[in-house]
Amino acid sequence: MRHAANIYRLGIKELRSLWRDPMMLFLILYSFSVGIYVAATAMPETLHKAPIAIVDEDQSQLSSRITGAFYPPHFTPPSIVGLNEVDKGLDAGRYTFALDIPPDFQRDVLAGRQPGLQLNVDATRMSQAFTGGGYIQQIVQGEVAEFMKGTRASTPVPVELALRVRFNPTLAQSWFGAVMEIINSVTMLSIVLTGAALIREREHGTIEHLLVMPVTPFEIMASKVWAMGLVVLVACAFALFVMVEGVLSVPVEGSIALFLAGAGLHLFATTSIGIFMGTIARSMPQFGLLLMLVLLPLQMLSGGSTPRESMPEFVQTVMLAAPTTHFVKMAQAILYRGAGFDVVWPQFLAIIAIGAIFFAIALARFRRTIGTMA
């Protein structure tokens, strides 16, 4: 009971110290509110209001049909320009696409000569340039086919593919971006808060005060783990209920309580990593540099950004030792596919085992750093 009381009181001290740190409070608030909204909405999932210019050198019925086929929301109304204005407009960033319809285009199409159109693309606008080229090709081919046949009806094929999209029927990127940003924020802030708390005590000299008190290194470390983990867990619950389900209207299929239970276990592992990093770094700038080396692989190679199956087999094997790999798999199964505990229990066990190992390593390092207490 004495150990539990010490861990509780030291944890309350950590919460009070965090409350007096406005920058950390701002980071938590931003990461689980504005950061999630930006991650979900900043990258449009489809082409949206892409500026396009058309050089109509044919002035025919077919060229007019092609020009009229570009309209919002995928494109802005086309700007009809001369051939000498294309390069200037692309250089100035006024257009992302510039389509040149050559002279005698309609006559060549009717004669079966297969004329070519020139499409100039501003490739510095990566997302729109990559998607827009395919859109424009489909629009032009559709208008030409309709002009030649008098209808846009396609030729029946012997085999028809029936496509059914599960878990995200509208293919909305905001559904994916919002949940993955929560997962990334949980990992990042749990490491930052615990590591910063330890470094802050070292810089302010309060660690020496703790050493002369009747508390053990285990109690000091456990207090930081539960206090900072609780803050991140509460912020995570706020983000799910308010930002994801409320503001962004993203449906959550599974049990939020089960997800938060898994997030709590994940926080046990990541806060231990934060303590371990805090014992290595001697200042906040050093901690920041070390954080980049640790956080980027945890986020990029855990299966959240790209499927693990597309990674080299060596990377897949190594990342099994990272708690984020199992946390991402568990979170996606619960929040996207509505999985229950009978499905995600292997991830729970893996996170518990990894967290116990990281906690033991961090505690051993912490004891060597501040000295073993009786």
pLDDT digits (tens, 9 = 90+) for 229-251: 999 999 999 999 998 888 888 88
Asked if residue 193 and residue 136 are part of one domain, the reply reads no
What's CA 140's distance to the chain center, in Å?
34
Q: What is the DSSP string of 118-133?
A: EEEE-TTSHHHHHHHH
Is residue 200 situated within a structural domain?
Answer: yes
Asked if residue 68 and residue 13 are part of one domain, the reply reads no
Where is the domain boundary, 117, 149, 181? 149
Whether 187 has a pLDDT exceeding 80, the answer reads yes
What whole-number distance in Å separates Cα of residue 272 and Cα of residue 191? 8
Is residue 154 situated within a structural domain?
Answer: no
pLDDT digits (tens, 9 = 90+) for 87-110: 888 888 889 999 999 999 999 888
What whole-number distance in Å separates Cα of residue 75 and Cα of residue 136? 10
pLDDT digits (tens, 9 = 90+) for 161-174: 888 877 777 667 77
Asked if residue 212 and residue 285 are part of one domain, the reply reads yes
Is residue 82 situated within a structural domain?
Answer: yes
Give the strand order in the sheet containing 52-56.
79-80, 52-56, 97-101, 118-121
Max CA distance (Å), the chain: 95
The angle, 0 to 180 degrees and rounded to 10, between the axes of the packed helices 34-41 and 173-204 is 150
Count Cβ atoms within 10 A of the Cβ of residue 372 and give its class: 0-12 exposed, 13-18 middle, 19 or more buried: exposed
What whole-number distance in Å separates Cα of residue 67 and Cα of residue 56? 8
* Total tally of structural domains belonging to the chain: 2
Residue 151: pLDDT band with limits 50, 70, 90: low
Work out the average pLDDT over 64-91: 89
Asked if residue 194 and residue 106 are part of one domain, the reply reads no
Question: Which phi and psi (to 5°) does residue 119 adopt?
Answer: -115, 115
Q: What is the mean pLDDT of the chain?
A: 85
Is residue 90 situated within a structural domain?
Answer: yes
Work out the average pLDDT over 36-45: 75
* Whole-number percent of the chain with pLDDT over 90: 32
Is residue 160 situated within a structural domain?
Answer: no
Is residue 106 situated within a structural domain?
Answer: yes
Is residue 94 situated within a structural domain?
Answer: yes
pLDDT digits (tens, 9 = 90+) for 265-288: 999 999 999 999 988 888 888 888
Asked if residue 293 and residue 185 are part of one domain, the reply reads yes
Nearest to 262 by CA among 168, 186, 148, 151: 186
Which range, 45-54, 171-180, 347-356, is most confident? 347-356
pLDDT for 355 equals 92
What whole-number distance in Å separates Cα of residue 157 and Cα of residue 163? 15
Where is the domain boundary, 93, 114, 149? 149
Decide if 100 contacts 117 (C-beta within 8 A): yes
Asked if residue 115 and residue 233 are part of one domain, the reply reads no
The alpha-helical segments, DSSP class H, found in the chain are 2-19, 22-31, 34-41, 61-68, 86-92, 105-110, 126-149, 173-204, 206-211, 217-238, 256-280, 284-300, 313-318, 323-331, 341-370
What whole-number distance in Å separates Cα of residue 15 and Cα of residue 302? 30
Is residue 159 situated within a structural domain?
Answer: no
Residue 372: pLDDT band with limits 50, 70, 90: very low
What whole-number distance in Å separates Cα of residue 59 and Cα of residue 67? 10
Rounded CA Rg of the chain: 28
- Helix, strand or coil, per DSSP, at residue 254: coil
Asked if residue 118 and residue 88 are part of one domain, the reply reads yes
pLDDT digits (tens, 9 = 90+) for 302-326: 887 778 888 888 988 999 999 999 9
What whole-number distance in Å separates Cα of residue 98 and Cα of residue 95? 7
pLDDT for 273 equals 92
Give buried/exposed letters for 179-213 (b at 16+ CB in 10 A, else e).
bbbbbbbbbbbbbbbbbbbbbbbbeeeebeebeee
What whole-number distance in Å separates Cα of residue 181 and Cα of residue 35? 8
Whether 207 has a pLDDT exceeding 90, the answer reads no
Whether 374 has a pLDDT exceeding 50, the answer reads no
Asked if residue 145 and residue 180 are part of one domain, the reply reads no
- Residue with the larger pLDDT of the pair 206 and 291: 291
Question: Which phi and psi (to 5°) does residue 182 adopt?
Answer: -60, -45
Task: Tell me the CATH number at 116.
Answer: 3.40.1710.10
- Residue with the larger pLDDT of the pair 17 and 158: 17
Asked if residue 61 and residue 8 are part of one domain, the reply reads no
Q: What residues make up the domain containing 308?
A: 2-42+172-370
pLDDT for 43 equals 60
Work out the average pLDDT over 355-371: 85
Asked if residue 186 and residue 75 are part of one domain, the reply reads no
Nearest to 98 by CA among 109, 106, 86: 86
Count Cβ atoms within 10 A of the Cβ of residue 56 and give its class: 0-12 exposed, 13-18 middle, 19 or more buried: buried
Classify the C-alpha dihedral 317-330-353-232 as positive or negative. positive
Sequence-ordered list of residues with C-beta below 8 angstroms from that of 144, at least 6 positions apart, any chain? 62, 66, 109
Residue 154: pLDDT band with limits 50, 70, 90: low
Residues counted in the chain? 374
Asked if residue 198 and residue 141 are part of one domain, the reply reads no
- Helix, strand or coil, per DSSP, at residue 55: strand
Asked if residue 134 and residue 60 are part of one domain, the reply reads yes
